[in-house]
Chain A
Amino acid sequence: MLKIDKSHYEALRCHGEETYPYECCGVLLGTMNGEQRIVTSTARCGNTRDDSPHNRYHIDPRELVRIQREGRERGEDIVGFYHSHPDHPARWSPTDLAEAHWFSCSYVITSVAKGKAEVTNSFELSGSDEADKKFVDEKIEIGELESKPQGRAS
Chain B
Amino acid sequence: MAKIQIPTPLRQYTNKRESIEIKASTVGDALSGLLAKHPDLRRHLYTEDGKLRAFVNVYLNDEDIRYLQKEATTIKDSDNISIVPSIAGGARQ
Contact = CB atoms under 8 A, between A and B. Distances in A.
Interface of A: 23, 25, 27, 32, 49, 52, 55-59, 61-62, 64-66, 68-69, 72, 77-79, 81, 83, 85-86, 88, 92-96, 99-105, 107, 125, 129
B35 to A, nearest CB: 16
Contacts of A85: 91
A57 B43 CA distance: 26
Contacts, number: 103
A59 B87 contact: yes
Nearest to B87: A59
A57 B9 contact: no
A104 B29 CA distance: 29
A57 B90 contact: yes
A49 B18 CA distance: 30
Interface of B: 5, 7-9, 12, 18, 43-44, 55-57, 59, 62, 64, 80, 82, 84-93
B91 A23 contact: yes
A96 B56 CA distance: 16
Contacts of A101: 9, 55-56, 85-87
A18 B92 CA distance: 20
Dominant secondary structure of chain B at its interface with chain A: mixed
B87 A56 contact: no
Nearest to A56: B90
B62 A62 contact: yes
A58 B44 CA distance: 20
A81 B12 CA distance: 19
B8 A79 contact: yes
A64 B84 contact: yes
B8 A61 contact: no
A25 B92 contact: no
Contacts of B43: 129
29 contacts: A25-B87, A49-B88, A55-B90, A56-B89, A61-B57, A62-B62, A62-B64, A64-B57, A65-B59, A65-B62, A65-B82, A66-B62, A68-B84, A69-B5, A69-B80, A72-B18, A77-B18, A78-B8, A79-B8, A81-B87, A83-B89, A93-B89, A93-B92, A93-B93, A94-B93, A95-B92, A103-B9, A104-B12, A129-B44
